[in-house]
Chains A and B, each alone.
Chain A
């Protein structure tokens, strides 16, 4: 069937079997290979993408189910949380072999959007579905905390620039937020 959707902000159409996994459509038809195959049964998280803004394991997502929807992959993820996560990931050298990291980054961005200042427990709950056999977990945890600080600073800056005529009260609130 013909499946039309928005991919990383652009309209695309592909011919695919209705039950073909979205992962294969992305990797083989559209040649976006940043999203990885790990297990095929939604147990490792390497294939994590956003469908209509929420994380989804693309290896078990039927292609037909995204018709008319929007998909974001590692190649297209952006915004303050994504920038903060990727910067933090690179700064403390989270990846080892790196194969799982596209999925880790996508899950971490979603976590940060849902919980701007996650606790260790939030991280365990949000990231336990993403396996890393090299075991970069200790740094993943650290990088999410670092990214939370970075993203909140960026949001403050963005908020400041949005209200360029900021009142003293507004700025004070922003700086309190940054130090919190």
Chain B
């Protein structure tokens, strides 16, 4: 085939092809009913083969020439003053290349309190005292034992309630409150409670939970001349990049952060932690690459946790079930320091989930001598949903209104804190319908009893404050001369499927098959701006930018094709890499042919994510139901089945969406039944900083979990109609399970987790009351 390209030649200006680059327009044609070829399809992960053969390289797998291995010495006391530290014997040990400690006098501060990197005030068991780099992990561990530290133990408080007592030891200056109480009120809550025909009131406690990513925190740092290259296990390569530059006083073009695969984060890897900076400092001191990965004890003590809470909740309602008042006061255990990243917003769900004119919330974070808390998959909402949805269940029971009906009675399509509509006002309503269909809630059996086994059903509604996207984001697509495309982004794939989902969006927008698209991410030196993968932000932020770049590129390809075919670009389309007429007729021209004609020039396009709309509040919602069995002889709780119907807008990939839903629900089962970091408050020590006694669900604990797809495109949110999903499914699991336990046994638990001991104690108390 010979194609004349005089028009293209004549349009050249000193070697550049001048094709009009349209500005990103309103891309609203992805309406419901739009026929997709790639988006929405259950595409398997692009890196699947690498992950089942051990070839995927995680940050922990980086092996550089001359690489040393690091280890961290930690404070064994909950509160202590460091009097002196002597590292000379460790430094003299053969194989040790660098030791860092307070003696180095780094001018670097840490945490929101701006504590020194190596402080002489040690505020929790696991607080970092020194770090070493040696030729092997064993030598590094030997070196730690040779460091002599003289501590002066100080009075401590690890219990949140005791920390607010007048005579409690001060962890920082002041009264152990991290900040002033955060207050909110709309309407008149006291009056609303007065008007109520019925009230329910309870105190709820949620436990400290640990993220437990199987790849611990850590990094490999390598100085190449004056440039620092860091391979980090992180949810945000750009965030680590910026913070490293800030802490080390380096310009941004001298630091590069890389991550291709990461072994789980769940919130704890959304900010920079000390071990990464230690790796950089040790590497600089040793003159060799240093890998510093935490052991499980360090991981469990000092890289964040889901804060425990104490929530006092009071609901008022009229006899027809309408809420007249919601009141919530809570304390949050911040640990010894306030960390960066998402704050735990316990109050949010009380303000948003139900229509109610009179709402009052108050929350305050409290310091204790325990490891600092950090966001953990839906921070605050997981804790709060347990309290609110338990209280709603109690209200439904007392009013003898079906729990689902009570939630419908209190429905709202508006954000009552900003007096704006939700971006999808019917989203939660649709979740209720889908849940009812898939679980058979309305047709469920009455709670039953057979032998010692009692069965029951429970549900919970939920929402998540984020998931709306967190602009800006910038994406660049380069069309290769063979018609394949490289999509260059600055995001990262934390195991959620980002790489695959964004490649689908690019393929769809350009008109290429999936195999012609490569999605690049996880390298700050090549990718444009992108947010941390937290808050379920990644897809709703990046997908619209990828789509914008893809559509721009498609228009350029069509303009070039139109010149070659001597026709109008508006009469052409791209399907599966081929140029076709808008009626679908073949034109004997492919994208590869167009590229070949343009060679050695090539096409490229940019896309960006604009700000979120201000006239609506974007919100993902959902509803979840559980069936459980309780053995009244052993106290064993068996979750039999769970259905979750989450509204995440348009589902871009049903396979990765299913994985997110099932995974989130499973973590919720762990939160409800087994997971709890335990501290002996008398001695201040953590009792289960390992994976033997900190119990997360295994394959044997998992019931049938069904993702009831809602798939309601939210085009008020962004031009792809997709909202974030990652955090949503974890939020309602615990309250639905606990409400099912109530249905089965009549026992209302207000403290998590519910283990056998607590069930048996409650059953005994129930029996004694009956007698």
Contact at B212–A133, with CB atoms within 8 Å? yes
Tell me the bound Cα distance from A37 to B138 in angstroms.
Answer: 15
Beta-carbon nearest neighbor of A93 in chain B: B44
When distances are taken between beta carbons in the complex, the residues of chain B under 8 Å from A140 are 699
Tell me the bound Cα distance from A35 to B215 in angstroms.
Answer: 12
Tell me the bound Cα distance from A27 to B261 in angstroms.
Answer: 17
Tell me the bound Cα distance from A133 to B56 in angstroms.
Answer: 18
Decide if A94 is an interface residue (CB 8 Å cutoff).
yes
Binary CB contact string for chain B from 692 to 720 against chain A (1 if under 8 A, 0 otherwise): 10001111101011000000000000000
Contact at B60–A95, with CB atoms within 8 Å? no
Tell me the bound Cα distance from A168 to B212 in angstroms.
Answer: 56
Most buried by B among A27, A96, A136: A96
Q: A90-B44, A133-B266, A137-B702 are in contact. Are A33 and B63 (CB under 8 A)?
A: yes
Docked complex: B20-65 residues within 8 A CB-CB of A: 44-45, 47-58, 60-61, 63
Q: A39-B690, A86-B53, A105-B52 are in contact. Are A134 and B659 (CB under 8 A)?
A: yes
Contact at A90–B49, with CB atoms within 8 Å? yes
When distances are taken between beta carbons in the complex, the residues of chain B under 8 Å from A33 are 54, 57-58, 60-61, 63
Decide if B136 is an interface residue (CB 8 Å cutoff).
yes
Binary CB contact string for chain B from 87 to 131 against chain A (1 if under 8 A, 0 otherwise): 000000000000000000000000000000000000000000000
CB-contact partner of B56 in A31, A98, A105, A139, under 8 A: A98
Docked complex: A7-24 residues within 8 A CB-CB of B: 17, 20, 24
Docked complex: B237-293 residues within 8 A CB-CB of A: 261-264, 266, 293
Docked complex: A80-108 residues within 8 A CB-CB of B: 86, 89-102, 105
Q: Which of A41-49, A149-157, A172-180 contacts B (4 or more CB under 8 A)?
A: A41-49
Decide if A40 is an interface residue (CB 8 Å cutoff).
yes
Q: A98-B261, A134-B264 are in contact. Are A41 and B692 (CB under 8 A)?
A: yes
Tell me the bound Cα distance from A171 to B705 in angstroms.
Answer: 41
Most buried by A among B45, B497, B655, B698: B698
Decide if A38 is an interface residue (CB 8 Å cutoff).
yes
Q: Which of B4-12, B459-467, B561-569, B662-670 contacts A (4 or more CB under 8 A)?
A: B662-670
Decide if B314 is an interface residue (CB 8 Å cutoff).
no
Beta-carbon nearest neighbor of A143 in chain B: B52
Beta-carbon nearest neighbor of A89 in chain B: B52
Contact at A43–B691, with CB atoms within 8 Å? yes
Contact at A138–B662, with CB atoms within 8 Å? yes
Decide if B341 is an interface residue (CB 8 Å cutoff).
no
Tell me the bound Cα distance from A87 to B116 in angstroms.
Answer: 51
Tell me the bound Cα distance from A178 to B666 in angstroms.
Answer: 35
Contact at A124–B662, with CB atoms within 8 Å? no
Contact at A136–B655, with CB atoms within 8 Å? no
Contact at B214–A131, with CB atoms within 8 Å? yes
Decide if B494 is an interface residue (CB 8 Å cutoff).
yes
Contact at B698–A93, with CB atoms within 8 Å? no
Decide if A66 is an interface residue (CB 8 Å cutoff).
no
Contact at A74–B60, with CB atoms within 8 Å? no
CB-contact partner of A43 in B665, B692, B697, under 8 A: B692
Contact at B58–A35, with CB atoms within 8 Å? no
Contact at B662–A99, with CB atoms within 8 Å? no
Tell me the bound Cα distance from A91 to B63 in angstroms.
Answer: 30
Tell me the bound Cα distance from A25 to B214 in angstroms.
Answer: 20
Beta-carbon nearest neighbor of B43 in chain A: A93
Tell me the bound Cα distance from A38 to B694 in angstroms.
Answer: 14
Decide if A130 is an interface residue (CB 8 Å cutoff).
yes
Decide if A34 is an interface residue (CB 8 Å cutoff).
yes
Decide if A127 is an interface residue (CB 8 Å cutoff).
yes
Tell me the bound Cα distance from A43 to B693 in angstroms.
Answer: 10
Binary CB contact string for chain B from 650 to 681 against chain A (1 if under 8 A, 0 otherwise): 00000110010011111100000000000000
Tell me the bound Cα distance from A44 to B667 in angstroms.
Answer: 16
A168 to chain B, nearest CB (A): 39
CB-contact partner of A36 in B52, B214, B296, B700, under 8 A: B214
Docked complex: A110-163 residues within 8 A CB-CB of B: 123-125, 127-141
What are some 9 contacts across the A-B interface (CB < 8 A)?
A32-B54, A36-B215, A89-B48, A93-B655, A97-B263, A105-B52, A131-B214, A134-B659, A138-B705
B residues adjacent to A (C-beta < 8 A): 44-45, 47-58, 60-61, 63, 69, 136-138, 211-216, 261-264, 266, 293, 295-296, 494-497, 655-656, 659, 662-667, 690-692, 696-700, 702, 704-705
A residues adjacent to B (C-beta < 8 A): 17, 20, 24, 27-28, 31-41, 43-44, 46, 73-75, 86, 89-102, 105, 123-125, 127-141
In addition to A33-B57, A99-B214, A138-B705, 9 A-B residue pairs with Cβ atoms within 8 Å of each other are A38-B691, A39-B296, A75-B55, A86-B53, A97-B495, A99-B213, A135-B697, A137-B666, A137-B697
